[in-house]
Amino acid sequence: MRRAGWYAGTAAVLVVALLPVLWIVSLSLKSPATITDKRLWPVDPTLENYRSIAGSALFTRALLNSVGIGLITTVLAVALATPAAYALTRLRFRGKALVLPLTLAVAVFPPMALVGSLFDLWRALGLYDTWPGLVIPYLSFALPLAMWTLTAFFRGLPWEMEEAAQADGATPWQGFRRVLVPLARPGVLTAAILVFFFAWNDVVFAISLTSSDRSRTVPAALAFFPGDEQFAQPVGSIAAAAVVVTVPVLVATLVFQRRLVAGLTAGVVRP
C-alpha cells in the first residue's frame, strides 16, 4: 500500500515536471498546419522547425552568444570563488564573518531593480549590447552562488589529509595536487555547473542589456523569431529552439550528476 502510494506520487511528480517538456518537444515536431491540433503525439512529425532555426543566423548567433557568455562567466566565477572559499574555510582574517552574509545580500538583490540603472550605466560606458555587459552582472550573482557552494563543500573536506600526505612523504605541492585537488574536484564541478546554468537560463538581463545579435542570448532571441507569414506566431521555431537549449542542460545534468554522485560517495569518510 505504501509502495503503491509512493509510485503514484512519483508518477504525479513526473507528469507535472515532464508534461510541459514533452509538449514543447511535440510542438517542435509539428508542421504549421497541425500545430494547433492540441494532440500530444504529432500526426505528421517533421524536422522542418529544426532545419529552419539551424539555417537562421538569428538562432545560431544567439547560441554562440549563450555558450560564450556562459563559459566566460563560469570560468571567471569558479576561478575567483575557489580561492575565496579556500580563504573562508582555512584562513583567519579580519571581517571574515561578514564576507558570506554580504555576498548573500548581493545575491538576493532582485535583478529587476538593477536593470534600469545598469541600462543607463552600460550605455554611458559602452558596455551595452556587449559580452562583458552581460558577464559582469552575471558574475555579481554567480560569484556568491559559487562561493556559498564551494565554502560549504570545502568545510566538509578532510583537510587533515594534507598533513597525512606530507607524513607519507609528499611535498606540499604533491599533497595539494594528489590529495586536495581530487578531493575538491566534485565541489568545483558542482559550482561550475550551477553557475553555467544560471547564466544560460537568465532572461531578465539578456532582454534588457542587449539590442542586437552581437550579444543576444537564446532566451532573449526567442522573442525575435519571425513567423512563417506576417502575424503568424513562430510557435514551431520557438519550440524547436527551446528544445535545443534545454537538451544540453538535461544531458549535462545527467552526465555530471553521475560523476558528482560517484565523486562524492567514492569516499568522503568522516570518522
* Residues at the interface with other proteins (CB under 8 A): 158, 160-161, 163-172, 174, 178-179, 182-183, 263, 265-269, 271
What is the 3-state composition of the chain as percent helix, strand, coil, each rounded to the nearest 5?
75, 0, 25
CB under 8 Å to 113, separation ≥6 — which residues?
A: none
**In whole angstroms, how close is the CB of 91 to other proteins at the nearest point?**
13
* 8 A C-beta contact, residue 175 and residue 166: yes
By C-beta, is 95 or 169 nearer to other proteins? Answer: 169
Using DSSP, state whether 237 is helix, strand or coil: helix
**In whole angstroms, how close is the CB of 175 to other proteins at the nearest point?**
9
**In whole angstroms, how close is the CB of 257 to other proteins at the nearest point?**
18
**In whole angstroms, how close is the CB of 208 to other proteins at the nearest point?**
44
By C-beta, is 162 or 202 nearer to other proteins? Answer: 162
By C-beta, is 178 or 214 nearer to other proteins? Answer: 178
**In whole angstroms, how close is the CB of 164 to other proteins at the nearest point?**
6
**In whole angstroms, how close is the CB of 116 to other proteins at the nearest point?**
48
Tell me how crowded residue 155 is: count the other CB atoms within 10 A of its CB.
Answer: 12
Angle at 240 between CA 234 and CA 243, to 5 degrees: 140
**In whole angstroms, how close is the CB of 140 to other proteins at the nearest point?**
33
Q: How is residue 44 annotated by DSSP?
A: S
What is the rounded distance in angstroms from the CA atom of residue 254 to the CA atom of residue 265? 17
Radius of gyration of the chain (CA): 23
By C-beta, is 35 or 165 nearer to other proteins? Answer: 165
What is the rounded distance in angstroms from the CA atom of residue 145 to the CA atom of residue 192? 10
Three cell numbers, residue 218: 537564446
By C-beta, is 3 or 92 nearer to other proteins? Answer: 92
Report the b/e string of 79-98 with b at 16+ CB within 10 A. Answer: eebbebbeebbeeeeeeeee
Three cell numbers, residue 168: 607519507
By C-beta, is 57 or 167 nearer to other proteins? Answer: 167
By C-beta, is 184 or 221 nearer to other proteins? Answer: 184
